Amino acid sequence: MARTMTAGLWRVNAKMLRARMLHRDQMLTASRRCTYPLRMEQVQAGDKLGRVDTALSRLESMIDERLRNERARGEELAARLARLERQHEELRKVATDVEGRLERAMEYIRSLLAADQQ
């Protein structure tokens, strides 16, 4: 049905254009979504809105993907930070242990030197 209506509109538009009764912007057309005639600028505005909606949905999906990527990156960095903090704590314990052993060794060396001087 839409085909016949569209074909009929084209014939009407052509006749009216030839008679100079119609400007190109005032041509009647049928939208893809409906079967009733619309003015050309209405269809063009609808197409623009459709393109805007499409662009907005693509932008939203790009933002969602970017957020997912950044969230995954944040979780990865948090896990890496936790691992580095554990390693730092272990190294601090080792350094404290080494420092204690070094102090005992120095005390032992001092006692040997004092005994040797006597």
State the pLDDT at residue 53: 82
Give the separation between CA 86 and CA 81, rounded to whole angstroms. Answer: 9
pLDDT tens, position by position, 63-109: 999 999 999 999 999 999 999 999 999 999 999 999 999 999 999 99
Asked if 13 contacts 28 with a C-beta cutoff of 8 angstroms, the reply is: yes
State the pLDDT at residue 106: 97
Rounded alpha-carbon distances, angstroms, from residue 66 to 52, 76, 77, 80: 21, 15, 16, 21
Task: Answer with the residue of higher pLDDT: 87 or 5.
Answer: 87
- pLDDT band of residue 55 (cuts 50, 70, 90) is confident
Give the separation between CA 38 and CA 41, rounded to whole angstroms. Answer: 8
State the pLDDT at residue 1: 42
Asked if 60 contacts 35 with a C-beta cutoff of 8 angstroms, the reply is: no
pLDDT tens, position by position, 28-49: 554 455 555 555 665 566 666 7
Task: Answer with the residue of higher pLDDT: 116 or 71.
Answer: 71
Block residue for tokens 């662009």:
55
State the pLDDT at residue 68: 96
Domain of residue 40 covers 2-117
- Number of structural domains the chain divides into: 1
pLDDT tens, position by position, 7-24: 454 555 565 556 655 555
